[in-house]
Structure 1
């Protein structure tokens, strides 16, 4: 079931060139990215303590995250990310262009 939210996460592009794109994402409690699909492989580095919910392929995964946590994801997966915690959630997303 898709996340229900009227609050959108706020992306801020910090740097971009022909090889990569770096974006900071800031979420109020309950905010989501909305359904999207990356055209590039990407890495995420968490900046704040929070609870992150990730929905893809009909499954929701909820995880406690803390500053410095990181993960890699492949391009091409439709998904939505939600701040399921009581405070703000922020992370840096680094996309690598082909």
Structure 2
């Protein structure tokens, strides 16, 4: 392990599995994790909103060593600020899926 808590030589991965929409204002990702699957270390450089599509019994592990369990329900809206690298593990017994919306710029009313 490095000083950051990430395995030595770790390269950061993508925010989700695929981008399903993008314009000048937002980038929308879809993510799916099977039980026991771990999303690669990644870092959010933009503020974002997570909308779970399924129940989520996950653990976030941060580069500073923090571990944060998460319990998510379909239709939740979870606001998150950009921050340090982390990975996400589905510790539940069912598939987990979400939509993640990154905010690239502030939308101003017309």
TM-score, normalised by the number of residues in structure 1 = 0.82
How many residues are aligned here? 91
Match of 2:36 in 1: 30
Structure 2 distance, partners of 1:21, 1:42, is 9
Structure 1 gaps, min length 5: 3-9
Q: CA RMSD of the aligned region, Å? A: 1.7
Q: Does 1:12 align with 2:18?
A: yes
With 18-27 and 48-57 compared, the bigger mean Cα shift is at 48-57
Match of 2:51 in 1: 45
Structure 2 gaps, min length 5: 7-15, 106-110
The structure that is strand-richer by fraction is 1
Cα 1:65–1:76, aligned 2, differ >3 Å: closer, same or farther?
closer
C-alpha distance after superposition, 1:25-54 (max 9, x if no partner): 011111122111112111101110130111
Match of 2:98 in 1: 91
The structure having more radius of gyration, on CA atoms, is: 2
Runs of 4+ more than 3 Å apart:
none
Structure 1 distance, partners of 2:45, 2:55, is 28
SS at match of 1:34: strand
TM-score, normalised by the number of residues in structure 2 = 0.74
